[in-house]
Amino acid sequence: MIAVATASQKGGVGKTTVCINLAHALARRGWNTLVVDTDPQGGIGLSLSRSTRKRRGFYDFLQNGGEARPLILPTRLPELSIMPCGDSASFLSQGAKLDRSPERLRDLLRQLDLLRFDCVLLDTAAGLNGVSEIIVRGSEWVLIPQQAEPLAVRSLPLLLETLARFRADGTRTRVAGILLTMLSSQLDASLKVAREVRAMLPPSLLFQQAIPRDPLFLEASALGLPLSLIRKNPPPSALLFDQIAAELEERIGLPAHKDQTHRHASLLD
Residues 81, 73: contact at Cβ < 8 Å?
Answer: yes
Which does residue 226 bind out of Mg ion, ligand ADP, none, counting CB within 5 to 8 angstroms by kind? none
CB of 123 to ligand ADP, least distance (A): 7
Among 81, 101, 132, 221, binds ligand ADP (CB under 6 A): 221
Which does residue 70 bind out of Mg ion, ligand ADP, none, counting CB within 5 to 8 angstroms by kind? none
Residues 194, 184: contact at Cβ < 8 Å?
Answer: no
The counts of H helices and E strands in the chain are: 11, 7
How many other C-beta atoms lie within 10 A of the C-beta of residue 267? 7
Phi, psi angles (nearest 5°) of residue 15: -60, -50
CB of 46 to ligand ADP, least distance (A): 10
Among 88, 101, 181, 190, binds ligand ADP (CB under 6 A): 181
Binding flag, residue 14, Mg ion (CB under 5 A): no
Binding flag, residue 151, ligand ADP (CB under 6 A): no
Helix (H) or strand (E) holding 37: strand 33-37
CB of 253 to ligand ADP, least distance (A): 26
Binding flag, residue 32, ligand ADP (CB under 6 A): no
Which does residue 221 bind out of ligand ADP, Mg ion, none, counting CB within 5 to 8 angstroms by kind? ligand ADP
Binding flag, residue 45, Mg ion (CB under 5 A): no
Q: What angle do CA 230, 68, 98 make, to 5 degrees?
A: 100
Judged by CB, which is closer to ligand ADP: 15, or 55? 15
Nearest to 39 by CA among 140, 100, 123, 120: 123
Residues 175, 144: contact at Cβ < 8 Å?
Answer: yes
How many other C-beta atoms lie within 10 A of the C-beta of residue 168? 8
What is the footprint of ligand ADP within residues 96-125 (CB under 6 A)?
none
CB of 189 to Mg ion, least distance (A): 24
First to last CA, the chain: 32
| Residues in touch with Mg ion (CB under 5 A) | 15-16, 39, 42
| Residues in touch with ligand ADP (CB under 6 A) | 8, 11-17, 43, 181-182, 211, 213-214, 217-218, 221
